[in-house]
Amino acid sequence: MSALRQLRAWLLRLSGIFRRTPNHAFSDEIESHLQLHIDDNIRLGMSPEQARREAVLQLGGIELTTQHYRERATLPGLDDFMQDLRFALRQLRRNPGFTATAAIMLALGIGASVAIFAFVDAALLKPLPYRDPARIASVTETVAIMGRADLSYPDYLDWKRLNNVFSSLDIYGGGGGLLNTSTGALPVSSLRVSDGFFRTLGVTPILGRDFYAGEDLLGTPNTVILSYAGWQKWLHGRADVIGQKVTLDGIPTVVVGVLPQDFDFAPRGGTQFWLPFHAKGQCDLRRSCHGLEGIARLKDGVSMQAASDEMKAIAAQLEKQYPADNRGQGAAVDPLSEIIVGVVRPILLTLLAAAGLLLTIACINVSSLLLVRSESRRKEIAIRGALGASRTRLVRQFLTEGVLLVTLGSVLGLGMAAFAMRAITGPIPELMMSRVPFLVGLRLNTHILMFAAGVALIAAFLFALTPVLRLPLAAMRDGLADGGRGSASTFWRRFGSNLVVLELTIAVVLLVCAGLLTKSFYRLLHVDLNFQPDHLAMVGVMAPDSLYPKDENVVVLQKQIIARVAALPGVLSVGLTTVPPTSFNGNTNWIRVVGHPYHGEHNEVNFRNVSGDYIRTLQASLLRGRLFTDVEDASKQKVVIINKELARMYFPGEDPIGKKMGNNELTPDSIREVIGVVDDIREGSLDSQIWPAMYDPIYQDESNYFTLMVRTSQSPGSLLPTLVSTINAIDPGVGTADPMTLEQRISEGPSNYLHRSTAWLVGTFAVLALVLGAVGLYGVIAYSVSQRTREIGVRMALGAQRNSVYRLVMREALRLSVLGIGIGLICAVGAATLMRSLLFATAAWDATTLASVTALLGGCALLASYIPAHRAASVNPVEALRSE
Amino acid sequence: MGDRTDVWQGTLALMVLKTLEMMGPQHGYGIARRIEQTSESLLSLNYGTLYPALLKLEQEGAIVSDWGVSENNRRAKFYKLTRAGRKQLEKEARNWQQATAILNRFLSPAEEQS
């Protein structure tokens, strides 16, 4: 009751701030009060003058009463603040140029850093959406050639049995699948996992149940758990989905569960169908076939390091036990988060640093603008002080102006950040997005707003402080004297110019980094592919086991596809491969050359099954020997084509043609004769090493999943729909996936995307920094010229030439620029060394980049200072002297 | 002003409310005079201090005001007790009486014994 009363009173007082009338109404009331009192007093026999004097006396003074009344009518502290605010608004409105410049610069700085922080927050700060994610480890085998590598199922079983460090160890593996729908077989993303996979992550289905222990063993019914997105997309989010059947790869499978909406497993982002592992087939049961990855939950009290040590020891033990299969197979235990965000961390940190530097420049520019303005407001401040404004009140005025400016900048900046976040995540290609599912649906949230508020608070403090420091209020009286300018401008020149040196330094660092990243990207795009990437169309083909159980069936399908597609208009040649170029290094074989000394080492080489026309279709050059033809099928002598790198590594100083090689045990059916050497077709991503590679005839070694590569005479993109429909026409039960041109694939590939977007973002920041730096330099020089107009006038009146005036002004600009660029270059090399991991085939001290940045920034600096210098040289001495 | 006491903050509001209850709608000057008379001039009251107190009561919803005409035909702002004001008065008067009763027992215990 009483609290309510107080609230009501407070609200009324608050509204009183905005009402301008009560004073007027109250003066009426006072007047009426006095009149009543005077009437009484006259009745008591006083003269009218005395009556009024007595009445006012009894009242306690008109002014004092009015003031007390007003204090009760409003909230005095807030009222002062509103006055400050109104005054500040007026100040800002009176200088729209200053306000707009300052607000836009701040908005750029804040917008850039908030947008980048949003990514940092989503990727690096927000914990993974699992229970106690810091205790989850990624567990895999390692091999010399690629470090972390996949796990084999028998090794996994041994690891699970032998370790004492994990409370659970689970695996996932596999990839695509075909879902039967009303419109034919459609490729879907699926993953085979061991029974405890979701329990290890600490995720519980929202519908139905988790896999039960032992459900991943062969012989149990076929079941599947759907991701939320998969449930929505394929089963329309129906509540009665549990117990229903879907047909995956031709096999009827019962839906037993649906996962929560916020669940995603970033190492295989976007997976919709989760199947129990069901070890079967050649690969699963073979110790040397590595196609799985592990996740584990650490036991309480066990550190990542201890787990890693133990797993390494177990791997060493297995290596002794199975020398043929496990030679060189180590173990790696890393935090799962590291596997997920390890790639993007250096990029994000670089971007955050760049955005921070941009923000610094923006803040410096705004502070120097404020400084210049506070110079011109010295007199105003002095007058306000002389009229009785307290020191706190004056400081508060600056604080209000700073806060107002920053608020304006922050609101604009948040708008820019929201826009930038959409602009950056919008075009992330699917290939990339599936690796960074944590960026899906990125938007402004409390974390980000808090960060923005923090940045704004620091900026506001800085801007409020700058003029306050600048105006030692004790010396306020000096402001009234007109001559008090000399010392002020010296201070400003020294302090302001140091700030400009800092700005130029930052601009150099950003420009150099952007230059290096751009050059890396350029180098990446011009890396030797050793085949012709243009006019190539590609589409993945999946022939389900249920429809094509035998190699012969697949061969028939493949020959049919090749024949139909080759007959399409505009098609020049058609090839098949199990792994398309520029996708990844991996899918390897262990080889051993017949007749060479061998000590059991694992000679890991890329392994692809290709059709006869594949290498011709890529237009890769054959260096020696011959290509195979499509008649060389399983009935003929087994042959192989190797790449230049394999020839160099395993046939040093001899002609490989006619030599034989096989697997590490030289099993008779693995022996193949080398018939040709091709150029090093780039199998891995653009920034990876060239690995040795072998190409087997696809008809001698079948695979149900393959990729069709087509060279066209017209634009390859226009052929894609025809390719898909041609394959569907042959058999609607065959799935097609990812139809795209090879150039698309290259440009949308993760390594390409990461390099490109980093270069773009840092480049944008650098250009902004360049502009802001130039504006800052211009501001400093222009201000110093405007302060020295009289001096320049005197010099010219005394006979100084225009040239010497130019020299006078430019000398200062030159000094600042040389200093800024010099320090900047040193810092830039340091910064570039720190982001070495993002550079590709480019040294941190790349001379061309450093030289171009110096030239560019030097040019801009000269231009920025030439304009005020020119103005100074055009000073009319008479005008200049009169103006004082 | 030897034997004249300054008005305690807080008690003024109670006096205003009570005065309005006794007299019905009244203007500020009238209230001030009435308080002075009731205290038999033992209270020294700057009439001006009455107005912030009136404003506070009005903001709290205990009284409302309106312009009207006084008995000798002067325009004046009249204050009137609201229902909430009446309740507030009852409650505060009771509190006050309780407080004074307790203090009385401390200050004149002899009376209690007889």
Residues A719, A842: one domain? no
Residues A267, A290: one domain? yes
A32 contact B CB<8A = yes
Mutate to test the interface with A, among B9, B27, B36, B47 (most CBs of A within 10 A): B47
Please indicate, yes or no, if residue A247 is contained in any of the structural domains: yes
- Among A280-284, A523-527, A665-669, B5-9, the minimum mean pLDDT is found in B5-9
Find the CB nearest B52 among A5, A58, A72. A72
Residues A321, A368: one domain? no
Q: What is the reported pLDDT for B7?
A: 57
A192 pLDDT higher than 90: yes
Residues A225, A319: one domain? yes
A710 pLDDT higher than 90: yes
Q: What is the reported pLDDT for A472?
A: 52
- Tell me, what's the ipTM? 0.85
Å between A25 CA and nearest CA of chain B:
10
Q: What is the reported pLDDT for A493?
A: 60
What are the tens digits of pLDDT across the range A349-390? 999 999 999 999 998 888 888 877 777 777 777 787 787 777
Mutate to test the interface with A, among B9, B35, B46, B78 (most CBs of A within 10 A): B46
Q: Which residues in chain B touch residue A6, judged by CB atoms under 8 angstroms apart? A: 60
Report how many Cβ contacts below 8 Å link chain A to chain B. 72
What are the tens digits of pLDDT across the range A542-560? 988 888 888 888 999 999 9
Residues A11, A108: one domain? no
Please indicate, yes or no, if residue A529 is contained in any of the structural domains: no
What lies within 8 Å, CB to CB, of B63 at 6+ separation is B16, B17, B20, B54, B57, B79, B80, B81, B82, B85
What are the tens digits of pLDDT across the range A109-133? 999 999 999 989 888 888 888 999 9
Q: What is the reported pLDDT for A732?
A: 87
What are the tens digits of pLDDT across the range A763-795? 888 898 888 888 888 877 887 777 777 788 888
A15 contact B CB<8A = no
Residues A692, A586: one domain? yes
Closest to A746 (Cα-Cα) out of A435, A532, A517, A515 = A532
CB contact under 8 Å between A29 and B47, yes or no, is no
CB contact under 8 Å between B61 and A5, yes or no, is yes
Q: What is the reported pLDDT for A311?
A: 95
B61 contact A CB<8A = yes
Residue A214 CB-density burial (10 A; 0-12 exposed, 13-18 middle, 19+ buried): exposed
What are the tens digits of pLDDT across the range A731-771? 988 889 889 999 988 888 778 888 888 888 888 888 988 88
Do A720 and A727 form a contact (C-beta atoms < 8 A)? no
B46 contact A CB<8A = yes
A31 contact B CB<8A = no
Q: What is the reported pLDDT for B5?
A: 55
For residues A692-698, give the mean pLDDT: 93
A586: phi > 0 → left, psi -120 to 50 → alpha, else beta; which? left
For residues A659-668, give the mean pLDDT: 90
Find the CB nearest B60 among A8, A35, A61. A8
What span, in angstroms and rounded, lies between the C-alpha atoms of A115 and A422?
Answer: 9
A483 pLDDT higher than 50: no
Please indicate, yes or no, if residue A138 is contained in any of the structural domains: no
Token representation of residue A456? 């704004």
Residues A182, A213: one domain? yes
CB contact under 8 Å between A72 and B55, yes or no, is yes
A9 contact B CB<8A = yes
Find the CB nearest A35 among B59, B74, B77. B74
Residues A686, A811: one domain? no
Find the CB nearest A60 among B46, B60, B88. B46
Percent of chain A with pLDDT over 70: 94
A610 pLDDT higher than 90: yes
Quickly state the pLDDT bin for A874 (edges 50, 70, 90). Answer: confident
B55 contact A CB<8A = yes
A878 pLDDT higher than 80: no
User: Where in the sequence is the domain holding A457, given as residue range(s)?
Assistant: 76-131+344-484
Vertex A72, ends A68 and A73: CA angle to 5°? 115
Q: What is the reported pLDDT for A496?
A: 67
Q: What is the reported pLDDT for A452?
A: 92
Q: What is the reported pLDDT for B86?
A: 92
What are the tens digits of pLDDT across the range A201-221? 999 999 999 999 999 888 889
Q: What is the reported pLDDT for B113?
A: 47
What span, in angstroms and rounded, lies between the C-alpha atoms of A526 and A518?
Answer: 12
SS3 for A808-850 is: HHHHHHHHHHHHHHHHHHHHHHHHHHHCHHHCCCCCCCCHHHH
Q: Which residues in chain A touch residue B70, judged by CB atoms under 8 angstroms apart? A: 36
Å between A65 CA and nearest CA of chain B:
5
Q: Which of A32, A55, A74 is the last residue of a domain?
A: A74
Please indicate, yes or no, if residue A137 is contained in any of the structural domains: no
CB contact under 8 Å between A32 and B47, yes or no, is no
Q: What is the reported pLDDT for A113?
A: 92
Please indicate, yes or no, if residue A737 is contained in any of the structural domains: no
CB contact under 8 Å between B49 and A60, yes or no, is yes
The CATH code that applies to domain B5-108 is 1.10.10.10
Q: Which of A732, A761, A796 is the last residue of a domain?
A: A732
Q: What is the reported pLDDT for B3?
A: 45
For residues B28-57, give the mean pLDDT: 85
CB contact under 8 Å between B75 and A32, yes or no, is yes
Residues A317, A354: one domain? no
Residues A181, A301: one domain? yes
What span, in angstroms and rounded, lies between the C-alpha atoms of A276 and A76?
Answer: 71
Domain coordinates in residue numbering, chain B: 5-108
Q: What is the reported pLDDT for A20?
A: 55
Higher pLDDT, A150 or A78: A150
Quickly state the pLDDT bin for A563 (edges 50, 70, 90). Answer: very high
A60 contact B CB<8A = yes
Q: Name the residue type at position A276.
A: P
Q: Which residues in chain A touch residue B30, judged by CB atoms under 8 angstroms apart? A: 36
What span, in angstroms and rounded, lies between the C-alpha atoms of A202 and A190?
Answer: 20
Please indicate, yes or no, if residue A689 is contained in any of the structural domains: yes
For residues A593-621, give the mean pLDDT: 91
What span, in angstroms and rounded, lies between the C-alpha atoms of A355 and A445?
Answer: 19
A67 contact B CB<8A = no
Per the structure, the count of domains in chain A is 5
Q: What is the reported pLDDT for A359?
A: 92
A469 pLDDT higher than 70: no
Quickly state the pLDDT bin for A676 (edges 50, 70, 90). Answer: very high
Residues A227, A370: one domain? no
Of these ranges, A12-26, A69-83, A451-465, B34-48, the one predicted with the greatest mean pLDDT is A451-465
Q: Which residues in chain B touch residue A27, judged by CB atoms under 8 angstroms apart? A: none
For residues A250-272, give the mean pLDDT: 90
For residues A265-291, give the mean pLDDT: 87
B1 contact A CB<8A = no
A193 pLDDT higher than 90: yes
B30 contact A CB<8A = yes
For residues A137-166, give the mean pLDDT: 91
Token representation of residue A866? 């030439």
- Beta-sheet pairing, A176-181 with A571-577: unpaired
What are the tens digits of pLDDT across the range A409-462? 999 999 999 888 888 877 777 767 777 777 777 778 888 999 999 999 988 888
Token representation of residue A622? 């054959």
Q: Which residues in chain B touch residue A8, judged by CB atoms under 8 angstroms apart? A: 59-61
Q: What is the reported pLDDT for A393?
A: 75
For residues A250-265, give the mean pLDDT: 91
Question: Which helix (DSSP H) or strand (DSSP E) does residue A573 occupy?
Answer: strand A571-577
Q: What is the reported pLDDT for A485?
A: 47
Residues A406, A286: one domain? no
A26 contact B CB<8A = yes
B2 pLDDT higher than 60: no
Q: What is the mean pLDDT of chain A?
A: 86
Do A409 and A103 form a contact (C-beta atoms < 8 A)? yes
pTM of the model: 0.76
Quickly state the pLDDT bin for A661 (edges 50, 70, 90). Answer: very high
What lies within 8 Å, CB to CB, of A520 at 6+ separation is A755, A759, A838, A839, A840, A841, A842
What span, in angstroms and rounded, lies between the C-alpha atoms of A757 and A51?
Answer: 86
What are the tens digits of pLDDT across the range A798-857? 888 888 888 888 888 888 889 999 999 999 999 999 888 888 888 988 999 999 999 999
For residues A621-644, give the mean pLDDT: 89
CB contact under 8 Å between A60 and B70, yes or no, is no
A636 pLDDT higher than 90: no
